Structure 1
């Protein structure tokens, strides 16, 4: 089973590789759901690790309905990823009614030609998961990252299983709340890939400054998210 780990730093990418991950998804600001990482981080990670690197293309946090300017940024970010030898692109775009923006999805796929393309968890907002999955598959999407339209993939196992039964080439990759306790559930049900962050908060400096720069919804500013190799090893051991 392919275990893909979502990471936000070079250190986490190295830890994920050492722990046995088969692939990473590289992003920034995981606490916001992930946004596109810097070109410096992309190039450094690509040079430092040997496993495939997929990069999240998401110009901002929030929803997945983008302006023309934001979409132009996405296309340019894909070209930057290509220049760095990135193995895959992770993206998703929706219309205002939460259906897939098919025209823009086709354009993203075209610009990603030669790289793997994953349609990410924007899928979990669409009103017709089965019909949408079939159309994404026909369009040429290689992988679908989804929690089965539930808060966690474990709770969404019914929808995930339905999608797996419809798959004829597009890999259905469960993601959301994957851990050592439940990872084997997906292996036992026939899924070929899993997505998780396997992260923990690490104290980076001794204390916070009284002047807070972050939103109250985010971790303390003296904490950073980092891959926990022990968590990841336990997941990999449970499915392989």
Structure 2
């Protein structure tokens, strides 16, 4: 039996390359991890695509906040997907809801169609759907490969019971991939409780600023970079390597 797959949410080409070198199986490239992730710049996507050997999926999310999008935001997402197709990415990560917390099938069908032959993951918009079991069936009907979820809780560990139920409901039709709060200390336990075969983690750490000139009055402009933690990713990979 092959070990479960590990996807890393990377916020830059440097983070993505660090994750690849540490043994990650796939990258979800995004910006603004602190806001739950937003679509990265075209140049960021292009550099990551040029340098990576492992599959690259790109988060398509035009703003922070909820997942109720208007026509202008849909147009923005379609343009971002077009760039991903042109640059040769392996997939995109999408999601849109209506005001009642249901999967917005019309907008999502449009996004999936724009992706063409690229793989499609439905992101954690799933976690604020009003009926997760029906939402899973809707996402299967859209033709998505997988859905990322914390089991509608603040972390995948807290939502493990629902994640396991969704894994059972999905069967072989779609991958249910837990994410949020996953680390090397809990991933094996989460695997045992949910039966999931793919896992999503950010494995990030804050780096101290290398600036020598640091005026005290503007400390808010001088925090260091957040980047993927290669050591933690290696621990995650090792933990998954040992699961049955």
Shared fold (TM-score, shorter chain, > 0.5): yes
Contact 1:208–1:222 under 8 Å retained in 2: no
Aligned twin of 1:237 = 238
Contact 1:75–1:111 under 8 Å retained in 2: yes
Structure 1 residues 68 and 235: CA distance shift in structure 2, 3 A? same
Structure 1 residues 32 and 77: CA distance shift in structure 2, 3 A? same
CA positional deviation for 1:187:
2.8
CA positional deviation for 1:115:
0.6
CA positional deviation for 1:205:
3.0
Structure 1 residues 130 and 47: CA distance shift in structure 2, 3 A? same
Give the 3-state SS of the residue equivalent to 1:28 in structure 2: coil
Structure having the larger proportion of residues in helix: 2
Q: Tell me if 1:111 matches 2:114.
A: yes
What are the within-5 Å matches in structure 2 for residues 150-161 of structure 1? 150-161=153-164
Aligned twin of 1:94 = 97
Structure 1 stretches lacking a partner, 5+ long: 215-219
Following the alignment from structure 1 to structure 2, what is the Cα–Cα distance between the partners of residues 208 and 173?
42
After the TM superposition, list the runs of 4 or more consecutive aligned residues in structure 1 that deviate by more than 4 angstroms. 207-214
Task: Give the TM-score, by structure 2 length.
Answer: 0.92
CA positional deviation for 1:210:
4.5
Contact 1:93–1:100 under 8 Å retained in 2: yes
Aligned twin of 1:198 = 203
CA positional deviation for 1:138:
2.2
Name the Cα RMSD after superposition: 1.5
CA positional deviation for 1:209:
4.2
Q: Tell me if 1:14 matches 2:17.
A: yes
Aligned twin of 2:187 = 183
Contact 2:60–2:77 under 8 Å retained in 1: yes
Name whichever of 143-152 and 96-105 sits farther off: 96-105
Task: Give the TM-score, by structure 1 length.
Answer: 0.94
Structure 1 residues 211 and 118: CA distance shift in structure 2, 3 A? farther
Following the alignment from structure 1 to structure 2, what is the Cα–Cα distance between the partners of residues 143 and 195?
11
Contact 2:105–2:138 under 8 Å retained in 1: no
Q: Tell me if 1:35 matches 2:38.
A: yes
Which whole-Å deviations, capped at 9, do the CAs of 1:18-42 have from their partners, x for residues lacking one? 1000000000111111110001010
How many residue pairs get matched? 235
Following the alignment from structure 1 to structure 2, what is the Cα–Cα distance between the partners of residues 65 and 208?
40
CA positional deviation for 1:211:
5.4
Aligned twin of 2:174 = 170
Give the 3-state SS of the residue equivalent to 1:223 in structure 2: coil
Contact 1:5–1:196 under 8 Å retained in 2: yes
Structure 2 stretches lacking a partner, 5+ long: none
